[in-house]
């Protein structure tokens, strides 16, 4: 059994989740050795601005720092940056780093995040980008100016945010997605259609319902993409935004249970003093009972806090991680926010605003209960519905809500159904940034 009070905690991953663990441990009185290992050479930085303020040039990279140097100093960390973990020996309680050194631990936190998926055959091809690191964003930024043509593969939040920035910088943008409606995976068909329309109005050309077959190259540089139906789209740069895959390769021989991420119990413990937080962590969500992995910024922090408390409590007294997930996306002048999880939702009702106004709050339900609330440009109002999500409140009857606030026809002229929910059912898969 793990000692209830470890004296050596090692955190692998120096981004939002790992930093959150370290800060919470100190805040809650942990005075032992605390090692924070990150494979990137940078001090911990924030990733949501990569596809927003950093890509647009509004901020420089220093602005992404999660904490000041003084605040990090105050944590008393053994900070190992530019040091990739390559293996874990749970028997010896040691992490092996790429430089050959080893770091011992009593409690280990895996917070290694996820890596952007790439298209096969594009390694080393100039002009092909993903958006996951500060270098990715700065490289892509160089491509975005009037007259340059950008193809975006995938239509999740990252691709959509980059499309908005690229248009604002004057680049020509084509978005290719295998989904019938861009963003429908994340937001459901009606909100997805509304957002797609916004992109079209801003000059984005959308090619839905088709896979990208290959990136076309000439002299080692991308010249466009070939679609599965044989069409080609010429481009000066290609952004691949088709989701991410958890960074678990270094755990292969460790005995730590790995599936889609590190498979933890409900308390985020993966056994043998190993815990996980952030994009890499999978756990059975207490509300749904389903194994869940969330690639969102707010989750990284909240899981980090929960892991820190559970490490200090010890596995015997650890408590389940039971969050109301939160994600947001900024596109043009729209702010989209989601509290809860849309996965499997079977009913939607707009409770404030409307699709036509592009300003709304929409409750989402599953099995007769509220499972999420989605807001577009109504942040404060949307937050007031969060308690319904937290409580998994019974789905409100129409009489509970002001009928004048129900949805009108979508801007896409898709008629509202005559009966049942005002919007089509939401996404069937997941609410990830894919």
Partner 1 sequence: MKISVDVDKCCGAGQCVLAAPDVFDQRDDDGIVILLDATAPADQHDNVRKAAAVCPAAAIEVRQ
278 binds partner 1 (CB under 8 A): no
Which of 298, 313, 334, 401 touches partner 1 (CB under 8 A)? 298
42 binds partner 1 (CB under 8 A): no
326 binds partner 1 (CB under 8 A): yes
Indicate the residue among 342 and 416 with the shorter CB distance to partner 1. Answer: 342
Task: Give the DSSP H/E element, type plus range, for residue 196.
Answer: helix 189-201
Binding segment toward partner 1, per CB under 8 A, in 132-140, 199-207, 273-281, 324-332: 324-332
Indicate the residue among 67 and 202 with the shorter CB distance to partner 1. Answer: 67
366 binds partner 1 (CB under 8 A): no
- Report how far apart the first and last C-alpha atoms of the chain are (Å, whole number): 39
Over the window 382 to 411, marking each residue x when it contacts partner 1 by CB under 8 A and - when it does not, the resulting string is -x--x-------------------------
Pairing of strands 8-12, 107-110: parallel
Which of 15, 23, 248, 426 touches partner 1 (CB under 8 A)? 23
Contact assessment for residue 360 and residue 354, using Cβ atoms and an 8 Å cutoff: yes
Cβ-proximal residues to 311 (8 Å cutoff; 6+ apart), any chain: 6, 9, 21, 25, 30, 107, 109, 275
Q: What is the dihedral of CA 398, 425, 375, 411, to 10 degrees?
A: -90
Q: Which residues pair with residue 376 across a beta bridge?
A: 336, 360
Over the window 237 to 276, marking each residue x when it contacts partner 1 by CB under 8 A and - when it does not, the resulting string is ----------------------------------------
Longest Cα pair distance anywhere in the chain, in angstroms? Answer: 66
Indicate the residue among 59 and 211 with the shorter CB distance to partner 1. Answer: 59
Indicate the residue among 174 and 301 with the shorter CB distance to partner 1. Answer: 301
Closest CA to 325 of 263, 277, 389, 379: 389
Which of 3, 5, 7, 27 touches partner 1 (CB under 8 A)? 27
Which of 185, 279, 302, 352 touches partner 1 (CB under 8 A)? 302
Closest CA to 118 of 257, 222, 208: 222
297 binds partner 1 (CB under 8 A): yes
* Residue 109 main-chain phi, psi, to 5 deg: -115, 125
Over the window 51 to 80, marking each residue x when it contacts partner 1 by CB under 8 A and - when it does not, the resulting string is ------------x--xxx--x---------
Gyration radius (Cα) of the chain, Å? 22
328 binds partner 1 (CB under 8 A): yes
294 binds partner 1 (CB under 8 A): no
354 binds partner 1 (CB under 8 A): no
48 binds partner 1 (CB under 8 A): yes
Q: How many whole angstroms separate alpha carbon 35 and alpha carbon 15?
A: 13
Let me know how long the chain is: 434
Binding segment toward partner 1, per CB under 8 A, in 76-84, 152-160, 195-203, 325-333: 325-333
How is residue 210 written in tokens? 């088709």
380 binds partner 1 (CB under 8 A): yes
Which of 32, 170, 209, 379 touches partner 1 (CB under 8 A)? 379
Calculate ∠ Cα 130-134-136, nearest 5°.
Answer: 25
Which of 158, 330, 341, 411 touches partner 1 (CB under 8 A)? 330
Q: How many whole angstroms separate alpha carbon 286 and alpha carbon 373?
A: 19
106 binds partner 1 (CB under 8 A): no
Cβ-proximal residues to 420 (8 Å cutoff; 6+ apart), any chain: 347
Binding segment toward partner 1, per CB under 8 A, in 111-119, 169-177, 180-188, 380-388: 380-388
353 binds partner 1 (CB under 8 A): no
CB of 64 to partner 1, least distance (A): 9
Closest CA to 226 of 146, 364, 121: 121
24 binds partner 1 (CB under 8 A): yes
Cβ-proximal residues to 50 (8 Å cutoff; 6+ apart), any chain: 64, 131, 132, 133, 134, 136, 137
The site for partner 1 (CB under 8 A) is made up of 20, 23-24, 27, 46, 48, 63, 66-68, 71, 297-298, 301-302, 305, 326, 328, 330, 335, 337, 377, 379-381, 383, 386
């Amino acid at each position: 059994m793990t000692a209830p009070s470890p004296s050596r905690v090692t955190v692998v991953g120096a981004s939002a989740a790992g930093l959150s663990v370290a800060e919470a441990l100190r805040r809650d009185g942990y005075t032992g050795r605390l090692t924070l290992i990150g494979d990137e050479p940078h001090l911990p930085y924030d990733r949501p601005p990569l596809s927003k303020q950093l890509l647009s040039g509004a901020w420089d990279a220093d602005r992404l720092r999660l904490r000041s140097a003084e605040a990090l100093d105050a944590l008393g960390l053994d900070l190992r940056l530019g040091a990739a973990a390559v293996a874990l020996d749970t028997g010896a309680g040691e992490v092996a780093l790429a430089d050959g050194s080893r770091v011992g631990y009593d409690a280990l936190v895996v917070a290694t995040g996820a890596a952007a998926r790439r298209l096969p055959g594009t390694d080393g091809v100039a002009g092909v980008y993903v958006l996951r690191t500060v270098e990715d964003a700065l490289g892509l930024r160089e491509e975005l100016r009037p007259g340059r043509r950008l193809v975006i593969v995938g239509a999740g939040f990252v691709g959509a945010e980059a499309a908005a920035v690229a248009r604002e910088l004057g680049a020509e943008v084509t978005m290719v997605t295998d989904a019938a409606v861009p963003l429908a995976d994340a937001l459901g068909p009606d909100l997805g259609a509304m957002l797609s329309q916004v992109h079209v109005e801003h000059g984005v050309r959308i090619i839905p319902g088709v896979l990208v077959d290959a990136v076309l190259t000439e002299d080692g540089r991308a010249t466009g993409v070939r679609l599965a139906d044989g069409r080609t789209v010429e481009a000066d740069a290609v952004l691949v935004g088709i989701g991410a895959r958890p960074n678990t390769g270094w755990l292969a021989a460790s005995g730590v249970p790995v599936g889609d991420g590190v498979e933890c119990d409900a308390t985020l413990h993966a056994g043998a003093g190993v815990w996980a937080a952030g994009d890499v962590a999978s756990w059975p969500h207490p509300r749904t009972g389903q194994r869940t992995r969330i690639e969102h910024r707010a989750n990284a922090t909240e899981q980090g806090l929960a892991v820190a408390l559970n490490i200090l409590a010890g596995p015997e007294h650890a408590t389940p991680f039971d969050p109301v997930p939160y994600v947001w996306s900024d596109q043009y002048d729209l702010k989209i926010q989601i509290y809860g999880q849309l996965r499997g939702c079977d009913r939607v009702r707009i409770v404030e605003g409307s699709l036509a106004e592009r300003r709304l709050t929409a409750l989402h339900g599953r099995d007769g209960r509220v499972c999420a609330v989605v807001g577009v440009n109504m942040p404060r109002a949307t937050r007031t519905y969060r308690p319904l999500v937290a409580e998994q409140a019974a789905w409100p009857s129409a009489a509970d809500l002001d009928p004048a606030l129900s949805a009108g026809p979508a801007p896409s002229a898709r008629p509202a159904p005559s009966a049942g929910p005002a919007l089509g059912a939401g996404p069937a898969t997941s609410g990830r940034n894919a």
